[in-house]
Amino acid sequence: MSVRQSLLAILSRGACYGYQLRTEFDRRTGGTWPLNVGQIYSTLDRLERDGLVAKGESDAQGHVYYEITDAGRADLAGWLEHPVLRSAPPRDELAIKIAVAATLPGVDGRALVRAQRDASAARLAQARRARDEAGAPGSAEAVASVLVADSLVFAAEAEVRWLEHAESVLAQHPDHALELEPTAERPKRGRPPRPVGTASARHEIR
């Protein structure tokens, strides 16, 4: 999540102070990923350091307003114009847990998957309720909230589908057939070689 560019996007609509930016961010994301004020001001400090925002006037209550600069508008335009690339996905605890559990003796991988599927299905139902409560898109704020709610629903649906697939894969193997003992080979120092077929491996063998 790019807090930096999101704040620039809000400031492109007019000068704001910290608490105001927090409110405006929540309006545009349905309050799904709330920001604390400390995070906002630390981001503003970095944006000011980089010349992307500038401090403006203070009001009678002492609120310091920030304004976007021309460099900030250029940075924002670049963010909006270029696709978000997910070339290095973060470690997925769920996928790691199930993959590792499948190699352990005495662990019922299918039971583990079924328990997780029930929990994920409950999360999916909760996400669907939140989307329904967001209502039909009408105002700009409602459209933004529904878009975020839909993204959470689709992600939860994908997780449930993957768990169903994982259970079917594990069902094809008898109990303990996947037990994996530590290798006796002594690993060399440095990074282990990437399996052939990964993006980096394909690049390296060209």
- Report d(CA 66, CA 50) in Å as an integer: 14
Question: What is the CATH T-level fold of the domain 3-81, as seen in this structure?
Answer: Arc Repressor Mutant, subunit A (1.10.10)
Every domain of the chain and the residues it spans: 3-81, 93-171
52 SS3 class: coil
pTM of this prediction?
0.65
pLDDT at 206: 40
The DSSP string of 91-144 is P-HHHHHHHHHTTSTT--HHHHHHHHHHHHHHHHHHHHHHHHHH-S--SHHHHH
Residue 203: the pLDDT is 47
pLDDT tens across the length of the chain (206 residues): 489 999 999 999 999 999 999 999 988 888 788 899 999 999 999 999 999 999 998 898 999 999 999 999 999 999 999 988 777 777 889 999 998 888 888 888 889 999 999 999 999 999 999 888 877 777 888 888 889 999 999 999 999 999 999 999 998 887 656 676 676 677 677 666 565 555 544 444 44
